[in-house]
Chains A and B, each alone.
Chain A
Amino acid sequence: MDLRESPDTLKFRAEAAAFVAARLPADIRAKVLGFLRVEREDYVRWQRILYEQGWGAPGWPREHGGTGWDARQRTIFDEECFIAGAPRQMPFGLSMVGPVLQAFGTEQQKSRFLPRILTMEDWWCQGYSEPGAGSDLASLTTRAERRDDVYIVNGQKTWTSFAQWANWIFCLVRTRTTGKPQEGISFLLIDMTTPGVRVKPIRTLDQGADVNEVFLDDVSVPVSNLVGEENRGWTIAKFLLGHERTNIAGIGMCKRLLHRLKDVARSETKHGKPLIEDTRFRDRIVKVEIDVRSHEWSLMRVISLEQAGKPVGAEASILKIRGSEIQQEIAELLMECAGPYALPYLPQALDAHFAGETAGGASLNGLAAQYLDLRKVSIYGGTNEVQKNLIARAVLGL
């Protein structure tokens, strides 16, 4: 056991931080740190900058244009990006369909799609959940019926993040209705410009609309867009769940929020003094900072497991639960920093071009949006309750 950070790791962190500081466009940084809305073009611009540096795909092997970094380097890079205020790299291409294609795709699929993920020429979204299939994903009913060399797809996907900006969607579809539900599912790539694909935004608590319903009516999909074998899509879905499980910890986001919390608590006042000097509030900051430190060490332990080639099971569920709880707690504290100015909320002021006035100023206005939006993290990616079921099963073996 060696609990010291190696000199190489420290050097890597410094390099990553220096790069992000030098190359992250100031306007994007201001939006991210100010909790303003980040636009499609901002995500793409940052991804292109990373791509030009050769860092477009931190999690991919070199042969596919990735960095070949190990898990520890990836989390460090991710942390530095988050702390500096970079927009997150969209996971749908890089961490989801990309690794799936690398593992299960045909040569033709790989050469067609992988380069366009790196440059973000394609914006991918994920077609998993359905109105009747949430935590119980295997009960999905979107049908894909084979007719000669196409599948005809009918059904509805929901909670599809950024479908409004996407031109491709990867879907789990039902290709067989008999037998075990898990054994009749296939993994299909669908061009969203195909006739019959319709995206309908879902308005969320913050009055934004980054999640959508996706309706599929007689959508014709070439058979060459099937990934892996027909009816083996569940295997791919499980592969994806087991892939880069440490991402789920959200350590970068935790740290960014914590930095922000301390900043805001220094600038807001109570009884004429900075809020951070108020013992009652300070204790709450300390508690959550301690949580972040513990979370960070838990993450390093899981990475070390992964690197030793050991299976990661309930550990990832713990990372998911803690990461989401910490983010939510900090978001709540951040909003409390605003005192009564937590009340007024102008959604349109989240737009960087907004020229009007907000009651408490633009930076406080964004706190509510963040608080409301982050309620999702304990729900998506397997609700925290489902994660607890998994932990209990691992611990109890019942």
Chain B
Amino acid sequence: MLRFIARRTALGVFTLWVISVLSFVIIQLPPGDFATSYLARVSANGGAAAGQSAAQIRADYGLDQPLYMQYLKWMNQVLHGNLGMSLQLQRPVADVLSERMLLTAIVALAALVFTWVVAIPIGVYCAVRRYSIGDYALTFLGFLGLAIPNFLLALALMYVAFSWFGWSVGGLYSQQYQTAPWSLAKLLDLSQHLIIPSLILGAAGTAQLMRIMRANLLDELGKPYVVTARAKGLRERQLIRKYPVRVAMNPMASYISILSSQLISGSIIVSVVLSLPTVGPTLLAALQAQDMFLAGAIILLVGALTVVGTLISDLLLMWLDPRIRHAG
């Protein structure tokens, strides 16, 4: 068991390192560097570059050093909790991101919970009432959910909500709570606004999980222990809930980790469409403005979130399923 945790953690740390290198590469990829883009920005705004030359800026930021030194410096900063300055906003990256990062995690978590809460009962229903009209309808819905990319679903839902019901979907808070301090009312408001994003974000995952749950349960339903329980006179509802569902749920747990990484990464693009105050829109704006320090930091943080999410779900899985514990 300890070996399993150690192995997973090591893999997580290694993945994080790979992500850090990749984010650094992405920061470095665009032609020109911070100095040239900064000077271009200043002169585009009509300001003289206050006696700064490109060479001077490069020296200030260590951009004249070899790449690996720059990487080590950046890593050193990051590990000390300093994510650098955003070029575009002229504010520390950490300030820009702190609340948005939290909301990103909350949105992903809400979608995960939604996926499970919806997918499992539907999967059970479809397996128990196999080939019923309900099964077909839900299976078809599931297919649609899988096929429609979530940002298009967001667009379509936004249109339907607006043109049919006059709702303006988007954002995570109502107007009056936008800048209000945290309170119970704000929390309630937030949870209401979370419903549609988690529905959109969770659609594909729900469809997937539902199919798996259905297939797993179908495998279990024919097994002798189910027949035995039924022969003993256990009521059907209780029987299903007590035995086969529990067995069928175990393999599903292994999907949490892959699902959580999909959700965190998927929330970026859905947030852009629904203008949720997560890191998604910030990342897009940073990329468009070539604010690569901000973008690199976001990619790194989202990567870290993904890795931590995967790690947590792996540990959860181990706690749920003794077979993995022993194999580990």
A binds B: no
B contact set with A: CB distance below 8 Å:
none
A contact set with B: CB distance below 8 Å:
none
